[in-house]
């Protein structure tokens, strides 16, 4: 089966080329059929130009630049719609998500519907200890509120078969920022999908600046959780 690895980017010029090269090193020895789908939100730092110059002649790399609209969740949705792999892998472009894990995440789909890179299982974690603690507490609250078995509901590093994902109502999931992943997991859990978490360790960003602002993100995610809880109560999420 073909795998499409979807990379949403915004101002990642200093990371994106090295990341794609690292993905090649991780995936090519497995001889799997794959492509890398880069969805750039018209980054002013020249991210798309860097990809074009480095991989413009490589059929494994597909670059899309969105000039209308911006945002993580909608960029991922765009990547889904403009890829053709039967297996989809989603990951960040700041090296939080280790490409070495991609073959493992694909292999385990033989036994599970979703494979999640998790910071909060044994051997997982974060180099930024404040964010690790706050994220751990927040995820514990999510588990209490929704009864989900998943320890890292904010990961965004996951693999899934396309047909398992596209049977969901993507309009109800792919909006906002990283809160889309909470909604996706809630729907998957409600459908009885078997989910496996494998450990990931987030290192500090090597280049550039994080787009995540702690306080505003906390408020956005909390509002999304309340809305989701209401939709689940009323049967509008399924």
What pLDDT, on a 0 to 100 scale, did the predictor assign at position 28? 92
Please tell me the total count of domains within the chain: 1
User: For the packed helices 47-55 and 13-27, what is the interaxial angle rounded to 10 degrees?
Assistant: 40
DSSP 9-67: ESS-HHHHHHHHHHHHHHHGGGT-EEEEEEEE---TT-HHHHHHHHHTT-TTEEEEE--
Domain residues for the domain of 74 are 2-234
- Tell me the pairing of strands 61-65 and 195-199: unpaired
Residue 121 · residue 198 · CB < 8 Å = yes
CATH number at residue 24: 3.90.550.10
User: Residue-wise pLDDT tens for the chain (238 aa)?
Assistant: 999 999 999 999 999 999 999 999 999 999 999 999 999 999 999 999 999 999 999 999 999 999 988 899 999 999 999 999 999 999 999 999 999 999 999 999 999 999 999 999 999 999 999 889 988 988 888 888 888 899 999 999 999 999 999 999 999 999 988 889 999 998 999 999 999 999 999 988 655 555 555 566 667 777 777 777 667 667 766 6
């Amino acid at each position: 089966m073909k795998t499409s690895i979807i990379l949403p980017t915004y101002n990642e010029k200093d990371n994106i080329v090295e990341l794609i090269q690292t993905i090649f090193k991780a995936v090519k020895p497995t001889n799997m059929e794959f492509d890398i789908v880069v969805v750039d939100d018209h980054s002013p730092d020249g991210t798309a130009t860097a990809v074009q110059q480095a991989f413009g002649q490589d059929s494994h790399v597909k670059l899309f630049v969105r000039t209308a609209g911006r945002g993580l969740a909608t960029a991922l949705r765009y990547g889904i719609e403009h890829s053709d792999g039967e297996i989809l892998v989603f990951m960040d472009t700041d090296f939080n998500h280790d490409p070495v894990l991609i073959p493992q995440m694909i292999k385990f789909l033989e036994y599970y519907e979703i494979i999640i890179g998790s910071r909060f299982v044994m051997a997982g974690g974060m180099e930024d200890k404040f964010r690790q603690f706050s994220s751990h507490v927040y995820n514990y609250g999510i588990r209490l509120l929704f009864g989900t078995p998943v320890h890292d509901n904010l990961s965004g590093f996951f693999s899934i078969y396309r047909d398992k994902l596209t049977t969901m109502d993507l309009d109800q999931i792919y909006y906002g920022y990283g809160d889309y992943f909470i909604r996706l997991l809630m729907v998957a859990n409600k459908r009885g999908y078997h989910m496996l978490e494998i450990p990931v360790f987030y290192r500090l960003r090597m280049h550039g600046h994080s787009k995540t602002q702690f306080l505003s993100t906390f408020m956005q995610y909390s509002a999304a959780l309340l809305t989701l809880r209401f939709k689940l109560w009323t049967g509008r999420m399924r």
